[in-house]
Every structure is written in C-alpha cells, then in structure tokens.
Amino acid sequence: MTLIALNVTHDPKATSWLGSANGSDFPIQNLAYGRCRPQHAETLRCGVAIGDKVLDVAQLASQTEWLKAPGVDTALATLAAQAAAEDLRKLMRMGAPAWHALRVALFLALHRDASVKVQQELELALHALSDVELATAVQVGEYTDFYTSFYHARNVGIAVGRGGDVSPNFFWMPIAYHGRASSLGLNSSFRRPMGQAIPPGQSEPVFGECQRLDYELEMAIYVGQDNAWGQPVSMAQSESHIFGMGLLNDWSARDIQFWEMTPLGPFQGKNFATSLSPWIVTMEALAPFRLPFAREATYPQPLAYLDGEALRDHGGIDVNLSVSLQTAQMRSRGLQAQQISQTNFKHQHWCVSQMLVQHTIGGCNLHAGDVLGTGTISGPTPEEAGAIIELAHAGQKPISLATGEKRAFLSDGDVVVLRGTCEREGAVRIGFGECRGEVLPSIGA
C-alpha cells in the first residue's frame, strides 16, 4: 500500500468561487462522487458534490474551457471525465492516475482563482442538491460485510450473556460474510422483516415480525480496480484497488439473526435492507487524515501477508462518526434527530487494505464498484457503541430520548441517521454527508 502524497488539492488555504462550498461538508478539498438525475435528464449521471450543489460531470464532459488550467493533464482528465460521465465504474477502472487527473482539473476549475470563462462554464453544469434525484454512487455488483471491531464483538457478547471473550480467529484475520447486493439502497425506507425466532424462555421457534430490530454504524469501501480470478491482491497493491469510502447502515434483525446463526453466518437477519450514503469520498481526499496503524502488544500481530511497514505508518483513517435517532413523535413535534452515540473509525482492529487483501487472498475476483462493509464501528467507551444492542444492553437497559420515549430496539417510524466527518489541524474539514433510513411496519402487520 502506498500513501497518496499531499498535493495542491489538499491546500488548506484554498477556497472556491462557489460560496456554499467553503465551510461545508463538501469543499473543493473533498470532491466526492455520486450519481444523480437532474430535473431535465432522463437517466442517472455522475455528479460531484460541491457545497449545496452537484456538478453534472456528464454535462461538463462536453465542455473544454475548464480543462485548460496550468497543471492539468488535459488529455487524461478529458478521458477521465468522459468515462465518469458514462459510468463511474469506467472511471474507476482507469486507475489512480486518471482519478488524480480529474480531481486536479475539478479542483482548479472550482478554485477561487479560476477564470471568469471557467466559472461560467461550470455554472451551466451546477444543480442545487435539492433539485436532483440522488441514487447509490454506483450500481453495486457484489457486497461483502466484515466484522472488524473488537469493541463491538466484545460488547455484543456481554450484552447477550456470552461473556466478553472474542473468538480466536477474530485476532488473526478480518472475518466476513457475503451479503446481498440487491437489497442495498440509498437512504432507504424498508419494512420490518418477518422470520423465525425463539422468544425468551421458549425452546421452539415462532414465525412473526422481528421484535429486535437494530442498526449498525459502518463504512462502505468501494473497490476501484478489478483483480483477475485466482490472482490475490497484495498489501503493496491494495490501496490502488480502493477508490474511496462512504457510510453504510447494515440493518439487523437480531432475534432472527441469532436463531439462524447456528452454525452458519447471517442470512435473513441481514438480507432485507442495507443503506448506503449517496457520496463516495475518494482515498485521495482522505490522505490528510491517515493515521499510523498499531496493534496492542497483548494481541497477536498480523501475519506477513496482512502486514507491512506502510500499513503501520498510515494504515488507519481518522473519521469521526455519529448516530442520531428521530422517532415519529419527534417528527410530529418538529424535533430534529437526537444524537445517541459517536465514535471514530480509527478504533477498528483491521484496516481497509487488510480487508481487501483478505477478500482476495484465496483467489476471489473483485470488480470495480463492489462494496465491502467494514462491520460495526464501536469504540472503547459505552457512548461509542455502533449498534443499539450495545447501547441498550440487548434490551435490558433501554436508552432514554429527549421526548421521554425509550428504545430497547428500533420501533416503526424510527429514522436512523449516520454522519461522518474528517478534521484535523492544518487540513480542511470534509464530510461524507448522511446515510438515512426509516423503519416501516412489517408487511404482515
């Protein structure tokens, strides 16, 4: 893995001629990618989030003035824009040089020093976010969900009465299961699932609607490069295969999940809904927020194929994350969602490059646009739990809300909002936007 060098696009003093970009989640130092449908368009096209607007790359790809700035690799940036305009996965497959070339060209075109001609050209391709329909950033082909938080694994074991011991294999490799890409959605509303579960104190299952519905605070890793079937990706190659990251909510039917997970992994307890945020923040945008990746001496150190000097130097990523909950009662009273937890991605026991390497080590072929979920992100303190099963101790200690309501698990009408930001001294704060989802009554209710 190679750290992306800081460059002109990370300049903390740089601002945009578009005023709403400055101080927002989406300044010119971010330039997150997504898909949108402007009001005049018949199909989805690639867009770049900038302030309170989205830059229509499909429209921009047919224009040329913005590509003429000094420092722009015009030929490569042109090809990259054309690829992105057609399908973001085509840009992904062009590789890191093309990603960088397009990023630099967009940065300079949106910079406060851009010429009047460039500004006028870009204004034609800008749409208010409120006026476009957003979709998932790519059409996801495959989805795999990992299990990489020691604190989550420990907390859930304690909450359900299994003790705080974590399975031995957790410390030796990133564990995962293959999820269901068809039920991935953007800010999705979904129905409470039906299924089998064993009620407390009973020995036989019953069929009915889920009684223990939960969220999971996760991040999405977007694969940017294919690897050939049978050809593993090494740690040295790993980050060139990762395009960027977003937010992910792995909704979980805990009662259904725990009954079915003997002996195999999750199935119906997970396959009914997974929510994605609309934007991919690129690995280049995240470069100022990299951290050393260290493992406590009391834990086994990674095997050689999951280790390396570069990993230890900058394998971690500093992302502040939060979970907020808005009940139906809150909405009826005009109240905003209430934050119920916050944590940081740096607490994960395994990093993004290790997850990708582990996925391919047996020869599995990943494709551009595939999504890897990081698994629930929890921190060392109770307030940093990434799921309500942890916060409410498996329903034994319901959390209290400002309205006087309590939640042991999620109720119909609840909206869960995930947010993420990166900030540090000497860098401009960037954000991931929101990942939002609402629980609707079950089809059988």
Measured between alpha carbons, how far is residue 290 from residues 7, 92, 173, 297, 351 in Å? 15, 22, 22, 21, 11
Distance separating alpha carbons of residues 384 and 389, to the nearest angstrom: 12
Report whether 253 contacts 218 (CB < 8 A). no
Element (H, E) at 134: strand 133-135
Distance (Å, rounded) from C-alpha 140 to C-alpha 223? 10
Question: Chain centroid to CA 136: how far?
Answer: 11
Task: Report the 3 state secondary structure along 262-318.
Answer: CCCCCCCCCCCCEEECCCEEECCCCHHHEECCCCCCCCCCCCHHHCCHHHHHHCEEC
| Radius of gyration for the alpha carbons in the chain, expressed in angstroms and rounded | 22
CA distance 333 to 101: 48
State residue 121 phi and psi, 5-degree precision: -65, -45
- C-alpha 192/C-alpha 443 separation (Å) is 7
Q: How far is CA 357 from the centre of its chain?
A: 18
**Going by C-beta distance under 8 Å and a sequence separation of 6 or more, which residues neighbour residue 391?**
340, 341, 382, 385, 399
Query: Residue type for 197, please?
Result: A
Q: Residue 266, class by beta-carbon neighbours within 10 Å (0-12 exposed, 13-18 middle, 19+ buried)?
A: buried
**Residues 242, 245, 248, 254: is their CA dihedral positive or negative?**
positive
Q: Where are the alpha helices (DSSP H) in 138-227?
A: 150-159
**Within 13 Å and on the Cβ side, how many CA atoms surround 329?**
9
Q: Confirm whether 367 is a catalytic residue.
A: no
Cα–Cα distance, 314 to 335 (Å, whole number): 41
| Catalytic-labelled residue, pool 100, 127, 152, 393 | 152
Q: Assess contact for 148 and 374: CB atoms under 8 A.
A: yes
Q: Residue 240 in contact with residue 152, Cβ under 8 Å?
A: no
Q: Known catalytic residues?
A: 152
